[in-house]
């Protein structure tokens, strides 16, 4: 709602005071657009004399004033038959019917009759053209075929609402200029009344993802799509491409060998040149002195490999799966054997140990990784 004080400051009291009052044309006589705009400001300041959507809204009041002038109705009468639905200005069916009677080029008023009962009931509207005397007639569809039925009158006074609907259709069919751009409230509103109430509460993410049965989020599906069909429940031993003549086939998760994943060392000891460490399955292995370069012919590790390696290990849903993801990661760089004695071997082993020793404790894992990468 606009600031009432600001509207009052901009009000031209002289122009508003010069606006003539009459018992015709809705009670107000405007001489120019300035007077119309000043009157619109006054309407926006009139509190409960206008609907809520017009209070403090001079622009909306101006639109209603212009429509009222065109229709030769009182601006306040039109305002109190107006609504705002889905950001659009619309009007009660009663006002729309009054507009048809006022502006349509007919003699007298619309005539109507009904045929049928219940859901088969129809309304026939007739009128006599003012210029030619020709009788015009329009028959509505059966009630069962009319949509939408948003007005509460369909339940309380179905014949009246059927007459309103048929009158609008009659006018739009024969005199489209009369109702150009004018819509009744029930034509725009999607849902009216408690029977059509919509639940607008926002469920949690799990509820929104949940399907007809079971969990909506499937960890197995994500694993299958992101890891080429390999999931934890079906470990698939694979031979890692390796130029090292001593390379061996990767072992399943339950039987991790000392050559397919990094040996485990503490982060603090990752920089030592020689180290005796414990592998992922508990077997003690002796690491050789670091040579400062990878084995001959093995692919070099790219910049940021440690971050990529940690990301691969994060995919494990259980501790036993760490070895599988480590094997998959090193396979793309020639296998673990090609790097275990190189300059990055101890760091890789420390990253693996951080996950193995702290699995399930995200904070501890991240603290250890900050010392390593």
Note the residue count of the chain: 373
The pLDDT of residue 46 is 85
pLDDT tens digit sequence for 305-331: 999 999 999 999 999 999 999 999 999
- CATH 3.30.160 domain range(s) in the chain: 95-195
The pLDDT of residue 11 is 65
Pairing of strands 276-278, 82-85: unpaired
The pLDDT of residue 276 is 37
Q: Cα–Cα distance between 252 and 85 in angstroms, integer?
A: 64
Torsion 157-162-168-174 (CA) sign: negative
Q: Cα–Cα distance between 277 and 285 in angstroms, integer?
A: 6
Query: Which segments of the chain have a pLDDT < 70?
Result: 1-27, 181, 185-299
What would the CATH number be for the domain defined by 95-195? 3.30.160
The pLDDT of residue 243 is 41
Q: Specify whether the CB–CB gap between 81 and 52 falls below 8 A.
A: no
Q: Which residue has the tokens 């200029």?
A: 177
Q: Cα–Cα distance between 231 and 144 in angstroms, integer?
A: 55
The pLDDT of residue 33 is 86
- Smallest CA-to-CA distance from 88 within 62, 69, 68, 60 is with 60
pTM for the full model? 0.42
Contacts of 264 (CB under 8 A, 6+ apart): 277, 278, 279, 280, 349, 350, 352, 353, 356, 357
Where b means 16+ CB within 10 Å and e means fewer, 58-75 reads: bebbbbbbebbbebebeb
């Amino acid at each position: 709602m606009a600031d009432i004080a600001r509207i009052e400051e901009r009000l031209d009291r002289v122009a508003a005071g010069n606006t003539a009052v009459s018992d015709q044309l809705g009670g107000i006589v405007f001489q120019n657009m300035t007077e119309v705009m000043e009157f619109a400001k006054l309407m926006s300041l009139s509190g409960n004399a206008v609907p809520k959507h017009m209070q403090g809204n001079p622009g909306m009041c101006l639109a209603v004033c212009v429509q009222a002038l065109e229709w030769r109705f009182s601006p306040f009468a039109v305002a109190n038959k107006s609504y705002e639905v889905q950001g659009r200005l619309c009007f009660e069916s009663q006002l729309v019917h009054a507009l048809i009677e006022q502006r349509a080029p007919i003699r007298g008023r619309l005539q109507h009759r009904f045929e049928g009962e219940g859901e088969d009931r129809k309304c026939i509207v007739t009128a006599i053209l003012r210029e030619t005397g020709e009788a015009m007639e329009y028959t509505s569809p059966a009630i069962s075929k009319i949509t939408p039925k948003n007005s509460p009158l369909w339940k309380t006074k179905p014949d009246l609402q059927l007459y309103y609907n048929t009158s609008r259709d009659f006018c739009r069919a024969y005199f489209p200029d009369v109702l150009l751009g004018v819509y009744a409230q029930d034509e725009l509103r999607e849902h009216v009344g408690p029977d059509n109430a919509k639940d607008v509460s926002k469920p949690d993410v799990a509820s929104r993802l949940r399907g007809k049965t079971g969990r909506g989020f499937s960890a197995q599906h994500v694993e299958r799509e992101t890891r080429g069909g390999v999931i934890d429940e079906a470990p698939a031993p694979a031979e890692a491409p390796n130029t090292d003549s001593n390379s061996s086939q990767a072992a399943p998760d339950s039987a991790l060998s000392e050559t397919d994943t990094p040996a485990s060392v503490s982060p603090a000891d990752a920089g030592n040149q020689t180290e005796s460490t414990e592998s992922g399955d508990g077997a003690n292995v002796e690491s050789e002195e670091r040579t400062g370069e990878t084995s001959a012919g093995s692919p070099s590790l790219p910049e940021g490999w440690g971050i990529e390696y940690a990301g691969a290990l994060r995919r494990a849903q259980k501790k036993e799966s760490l070895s599988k993801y480590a094997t998959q990661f090193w396979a793309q760089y020639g296998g673990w054997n090609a790097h275990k004695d190189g300059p990055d071997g101890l760091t890789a082993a420390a990253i693996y140990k951080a996950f193995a020793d702290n699995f399930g404790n995200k904070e501890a894992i991240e603290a250890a990784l900050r010392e390593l990468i």
